[in-house]
Copies of this chain bind each other. A is one copy, B any other.
Amino acid sequence: MDHLQQEFSVRFSYPIFFTSDLFATTNSLFADFFNKSAGAVRRKLLFIVDSGVVEAHPQLLDSIRTYVAQHVAALDLIDDVLVLPGGEIAKNSPDAVETIVDAIDRYGVDRHSFVVGIGGGSILDMVGYAAAISHRGIRHVRIPTTVLSQNDSGVGVKNGVNYRGKKNFLGTFVPPVAVFNDSTFLTTLDDRDWRAGTAEAIKVALIKDRAFFDWLDTNATALAQRDLPAMQYLIHRCADLHLKHIAGGDPFEMGSSRPLDFGHWSAHKLEQLTDFELRHGEAVAIGIALDTLYSQQLGWLSEADADRVLNLMRTLGFSLYQPMLDANDSADVLKGLAEFREHLGGQLTIMLLTGLGTGVEVHEMDDSRIRQAIAQLKRTESQPA
């Protein structure tokens, strides 16, 4: 048979910096990155900032202007810094992407320039997508401002927006050229967002890293009391585990390798059933609790270990029961399992635990066991602690 075979590899490489006060004039980190890449070619910087971040940090836009003028003289800051509504709305409205593409066009932002997103995972997912589709990919830089985006979404390779309310229906796999995790932003998060992002750390610790789980257990009270150095450690370690998972696996998910989604089949459904009243991380905490109890029922995890998992999350302040778990005699949440199977193309793969720090994949789950786990969560959560 007459054919040619095309074969090539593309190498991707990007740094994830950890810092504080990124735009303080005494902090040269951001400037160093850009000045290094300056050359004969004139590069532009287009900033897009989460409105929630601007509200909490009213001096931010001025700091950026001052900083770039003083330290990044080799690049042209586009004066029109775009401030767009933060949160899931950023991904729900086609207008946000359109606004960025329009700015890229009007200001002549080309493939030698940079799009810089500052904000939570929602804004960053949307900005990354707009940059990825413009001119077949403009370099984008992420400055994540939530726990979740600093330890998970912001360091990875996915971007996307919702379409007709369907999560991440449109998107691409395109890594950023750099990520700047600035701990100063975390101080203004409300308690729910501070807490929610820690669920992803518990998730990855439980399936990959016993020592990290022990650390989380030891530091749960400090984290609950908003100890910043503890949170910085959590983010660094969690980001590292996510990065290694991506690099070691199938970064663009072209084969059948699975993303890190322990506890996520029910979490996705609960987010939807509660009309996104539950934060992603809050739903993940419940999903982790459910699949932990399920693992215990199978005899794979001791009761003591399962209790440690649940108590850790309670100490952090998570509620591990949500009435929607019972809706329609749990038929609604079980639909999440069917949808997960469908999403995977017909072959279900679910991560369960055989120990703290050890995940294992299974290809079916039993409805009545899931109902038992739900009942147990309902019982224990409605008792006074």
Contact = CB atoms under 8 A, between A and B. Distances in A.
Contacts of A251: 8, 10
A11 B7 contact: yes
Interface string A240-254: 100100110001111
* Range for the number of chain A residues in contact with chain B: 35 or more
A379 interface: no
A154 B130 CA distance: 25
Nearest to A112: B345
A7 B13 contact: yes
B252 A41 contact: no
A41 B347 contact: yes
Interface string A144-181: 00000000000100101001101011111111000000
Contact of A101 (B3, B10, B163, B240): B163
B136 A158 contact: yes
Contact of A172 (B3, B40, B136): B136
Contacts of A43: 345
A164 B132 contact: no
Contacts of A132: 172
A52 B296 CA distance: 61
A41 B344 CA distance: 8
B41 A345 contact: yes
B101 A6 contact: no
Contacts of A175: 6
A6 B136 contact: no
A183 to B, nearest CB: 11
A4 interface: yes
Contacts of A246: 6, 8
In this complex, the member of A6, A111, A243, A347 whose beta carbon has the largest number of chain B beta carbons within 10 angstroms is A6
A208 to B, nearest CB: 16
B3 A18 contact: yes
A174 B252 CA distance: 11
Interface string A79-108: 000000000000000000000010001001
Nearest to A8: B247
A240 B6 CA distance: 9
Given A3-B16, A5-B15, A6-B155, 9 more contacts: A2-B19, A6-B14, A10-B251, A110-B343, A112-B346, A132-B172, A134-B170, A136-B158, A137-B173
